[in-house]
Structure 1
Amino acid sequence: MIPRELIQHLELLKNLGVKEIFLPTSRKAEILKELSIKYSTCTKCKLHTGRIKFVYGEGNPDALAMLIGEGPGEQENLTGRPFVGPAGNLLTKMLKAINLSREDVYICNIVKCRPPNNRNPEPEEREACLPYLLEQIEIIQPKLILILGLVAAQTLLNTKLSMEKLRLTTHSFKDIKTFVTYHPSALLRNPNWKKPAWQDLQRFQAEYIKLLQ
């Protein structure tokens, strides 16, 4: 378990305005694993009633970029891993197209349990789960965020703007440069959106490359 003293110390630093805290990669991975176990029995919203496996998130704990989707689907609920169904396969290809792999980034969702029939998570469900995501961001401390899908974008950016408007703007979430693009499942249903999604990925890639220089 994470020592109470460490949690209190991190909260103190946050309250003092400290935005970056160095943690060894191994410690970050350990903390994320412990938190995923700690929260796996969460009953804060009704989504837990259909939970088979808690889908916390996975990837590089030192990732420069976090990819944030909406919520787990059927395959994710079965495996406990984010983006492993058809949409996940497409996401892997999208990353490969900009010379990244799943191991380079950290992937998670707004909600950690599957909404029934893959419906959009309701506002109270998103609100209940959001602290888990914010905690992940604090631990990983990414330099870029790519939001996948309108629901996730409107939730994190606190807006009602359309996808067409959101994806054309570079945003800031928790002082982190943030991009918005279509959710891979939306691209599977609407192949005509793949061209604008590719444009979004190229903008995201350009910023990512700057971080490496």
Structure 2
Amino acid sequence: MGGSPLITNELTVEDLTARAVGCKRCTLGETRHSVVFGEGNLRAGLMLVGESPGEKEDETGRPFVGPAGRILNKILAEVGIRREDLYITGVIKCRPPQNRLPKKAEVSACVPFLKKQIELIRPKIIICLGSLATKTLLDPKAKITEVRGKWFERGGIMMMPTYHPAAVFHDEEKLAAIREDFRQVKEAYKKASGNGPKAPG
């Protein structure tokens, strides 16, 4: 759906957030309760990109606070990464009705926000959580089962795809794979930053 184009010279994440809150670039702007833009450390060297908000995210305006978020928090704690050391967002900022998969037009409408977030925050490493983030940021033809746990470089940023935490609900064996991927990311981030995310406590 039409709507004004994104301003290309946004100076701050706050400016971009305000623009997202008023966005009507696709029909999700008519059905959402909240815009789930993202949260975390704006100077984070590590960014997590998921898919789209679920029911709890839509209610609160925060990413990964529902069942998948609890899985993510568990994994972060197990590998010794604090959530406050990250910036977390999604490809889609508004919840698709009944948590259906986002449509291509919705992805196209929302991707400029994600790309601008990445430009402003300038992370060293991005973790692509699930298929949509992987296809959006790496390769539209990528298959998550083939690329998860592997490193890719895009625009000077190292990226690793892994399974979305929600995948654990359908296949518990994926939990170990996600945990191992996050361990790799933590070690790589330590090397990239000189110290890396601090362990809890």
Q: Give TM-score, length-normalised by structure 2.
A: 0.87
Deviations 1:173-209 (A, max 9, x none): 3320000111111112211111221221121111011
Within 5 Å, which residues of 2 pair with 1:90-129? Answer: 90-129=71-110
Aligned twin of 2:186: 205
Distance apart, 1:169 and its partner CA: 2.2
In 1, Cα distance between equivalents of 2:59 and 2:72: 18
Contact 2:55 2:95 survives alignment (8 Å): yes
> Offset of 1:85 from its aligned partner?
0.5
Number of the residue aligned with 2:36: 55
Q: Secondary structure at the match of 1:103?
A: helix
Q: RCO (CA 8 Å, sep 6+): is it higher in 1 or 2?
A: 2
Size of the alignment, in residue pairs? 188
Report the Cα distance in structure 2 between the residues aligned to 1:140 and 1:201, rounded to whole angstroms.
20
Number of the residue aligned with 1:3:
none
Q: Is the 8 A contact 1:120 1:151 kept in 2?
A: no
Return the letter of the residue paired with 2:190.
Answer: I
- 1:187 maps to 2:168: yes
**Secondary structure class of the residue paired with 1:71:** coil
- Structure 2 spans left out of the alignment, 5+ residues: 1-6, 195-201
Determine whether 1:174 maps to 2:162.
no
The yes-or-no answer on 1:85 pairing with 2:66 is yes
Distance in 1, Cα, partners of 2:170 & 2:29: 27
Question: Deviations 1:101-144 (Å, cap 9, x if unpaired)?
Answer: 11100000001000111111111111110010111111110000
Letter in 2 for 1:68: V
1:17-62 CA-partner distances (Å, limit 9, x unpaired)? xxxxxxxxxxx8xx22232122212111111121101111000000
Compute the TM-score of the two structures, normalised by the length of structure 1.
Answer: 0.83
* Runs ≥4 residues deviating over 3 A: none
Mark the runs of 5 or more structure 1 residues left unpaired by the alignment: 1-6, 12-27
Code of the residue aligned with 1:62 in structure 2: it is R
The answer to whether the Cα contact below 8 Å between 1:66 and 1:105 also exists between their aligned partners in 2 is yes
Match of 1:141 in 2: 122
| Paired residues of 2:36 and 2:61 also in contact (CA < 8 A) | yes
